[in-house]
Structure 1
């Protein structure tokens, strides 16, 4: 469980707030996605939540205990996987995991199981310096999970991964949440957020502009339109034609029915906006902008 109430933060010497009045909660078994462009405050928020940055105002609770009241034992219940992981490059993956596991008193050792799940079992004894970026990202996730923490902080967990391994990471995150873990991830990858997050928060200039389940956000911003694509013959040529129609009273729409009758139907789909489009509509900002954190 993560609970944040009216969290604000200003870096020393900065004239402006980096975070302003953030409030949200992530219960066990849920994945919360913090979405925003570079410099929005995502990394600052994570650093506060896992105890690296001090001097914030507002309240932060981890597992129903104020973060300020935790000792360093808080790291026993946390797993952290950053976007740019660092390892002992000349050591093998196995030796790296063994070394980092010594930081925890927990007897759990999920390393071998997770290495197999993420397709790295055969690489256990290879030096990490021989790993690709995608392999290091998967090893990074194994390192964060090997002591079986209750709360997981992730930063761009599918960065550098091909579609097959990105899918495996997504499946793993769902499985961990289903097992009761609290997962907080930061990303500007709306596809990742749509696929795995139970709730997302849009962060711009240190403020949460919207927070809801992805499906709820799409419902709020639905267009009420469907797009129909047909192929129609014109002499010896075949053309692909597309038109949009209001979803309301569609069955009685004579223009719609006439368009269907004019050729072979290839596709009919509802024009629901994706999360990136909703982000742009809600914030007036692109995910690919930089606001300077």
Structure 2
């Protein structure tokens, strides 16, 4: 199983904080560094303030050499699809082909209001999300020299040259969430990875079943769709260290043990083993205390070798 660091900078982080984490993660052997794409914190004051995800990743692309970089996930409500396709392709070039795009319908109403972004009803957000997936994948895959036009209910693109192209032949696209119908259908049609997050094992199994059924209905081999799990992660060498780290992020230990990756290295390895039995092959370890670089090292040294 691949282990990927997942951060929430909107809760309060400077670029220097993220740079320290990504450098430590790269040195420690993590497969990837991902960040959320949000403009407001979920709690607290979020100081020194939010940062734009793709601006951040562009900077980190030039400061790293191996680790993959991406968003989990960019809301389709934040950026026009042709502009996002250009941004991601440019960061892919800056990283020499290490970028992945997690894309979702958007859900956090308050940040849209705060930044003057439209926030339609869920059905329209999913319609926009689907159009974005169609436009972005088409712009990246169309032959050089051709022009792309799309006339949708929510997006219009006319004679776009589809440039620049990403360095990668196919930028991995991550789709995820708990939607029972459209989310698995869109993943089956467009995604290279389906992400399941912040839920117990029974719910993981249910979502895996739905997306595999959607693949079969679309005529796609389910084995071609990677499955991943994202969870708040707290690991300690003993129960006291676990309790200290849980307290540091203001979390509830009972909830973390049910819906996250929480405990001693042995306990977390067991949890990852149960996820692997359900078909999950990569885990996004959400680390909320970005100053705790020892935590990054502990997961790498005591968990990663047992699940690699």
TM-score of the alignment, normalized to the shorter chain, above 0.5: no
So what's the TM-score if we normalise by structure 1? 0.32
So what's the TM-score if we normalise by structure 2? 0.31
Structure holding more strand per residue: 1
